[in-house]
Amino acid sequence: MSELNYQKLREYMVNIQIRARGIYDSKVLAAMLKVPRHEFVPQDMRPYAYEDRPLPIGEGQTISQPYMVALMTQCLELEGPESVLEIGAGSGYQAAILAEIAANVRTIERLPSLLQKAREVLARLGYTNYEARVGDGTLGWEEKAPFNGIMVTAGAPDVPPSLLEQLADKGRLVIPIGPERYQTLYKIVKKGKKIRREFVTYCSFVPLIGKEGWGNP
């Protein structure tokens, strides 16, 4: 398929799946329109890259549904100068969306083979304002903290205390919490010593596996 056709599929995706469902943040809409999602999925999944669903990326993991990527990004209320941490790099697609908007993006992935592929695509597409590493993201990235926004893209039993600690004052954390298959997406806002938890939607993510998640396999 030509780049022009992919561009048309992206426009359709943004209008029908994202804007029509209430995503209003112009920075998020522009990023979703720009980032070539098909580059982040395996070859045999490319024809489905702009469909309204998650897709397999190998190792039993998934690239999230486009609407969920947009919704979670909007929850972070990014303006541009922020430092953001993503847990669960997966294909690298969400990191690219964040890197379009925020000044600095850090992303952690526990599976080295996925991170290697994600790095290759992000480098090929010319992203330079991100750092990625293999590790247990439930513990965050202490050396780079605090973060204005933290996004967890795997389902957790509860908010990992390390992530809450590494969230900056007035920072936003978005995370799916609940049993292993079905969770509730929450936006958590830190103001001084106060932590406010807002319901966002219901969702289904692969499990967050780690010390402050579902434990180690």
CA distance 35 to 23: 17
Active site residue 64: yes
Q: Which of 14, 35, 49, 63 binds ligand SAM (CB under 6 A)?
A: 63
Q: How far is the CB of 73 from ligand SAM (least distance, A)?
A: 11
Each residue 107-126 as x (binds ligand SAM by CB under 6 A) or -, in order, gives -xxxx--x------------
Among 66, 137, 140, 149, binds ligand SAM (CB under 6 A): 137
Alpha helices, DSSP H only, in 125-195?
161-165
Match 């920072």 to its residue by tokens: 171
Residue 192 C-beta: closest distance to ligand SAM, Å = 28
Q: How many CA atoms lie within 13 A of 168 on its CB side?
A: 14
Residue 124 host element (H or E): helix 112-124
User: What residues numbered 169-198 form the site for ligand SAM, per CB under 6 A?
Assistant: none
Give the torsion sign (CA, 168, 172, 174, 175).
positive
> Exactly one of 2, 26, 64, 204 is catalytic; which is it?
64
> Within positions 72 to 111, which residues make up the interface with ligand SAM, using CB under 6 A?
87-88, 90-91, 93-94, 108-111
64 binds ligand SAM (CB under 6 A): yes
Q: Which of 138, 148, 162, 166 binds ligand SAM (CB under 6 A)?
A: 138
For tokens 């943040």, the residue is: 25
Angstrom distances, CA of residue 133 to CA of 62, 76, 110, 137, 155: 18, 22, 8, 9, 20
- Give the position of tokens 């098909």: 38
Catalytic residues: 64
Residues that bind ligand SAM (CB under 6 A): 61-64, 87-88, 90-91, 93-94, 108-111, 114, 136-138, 153-154, 205-206, 208-210, 213
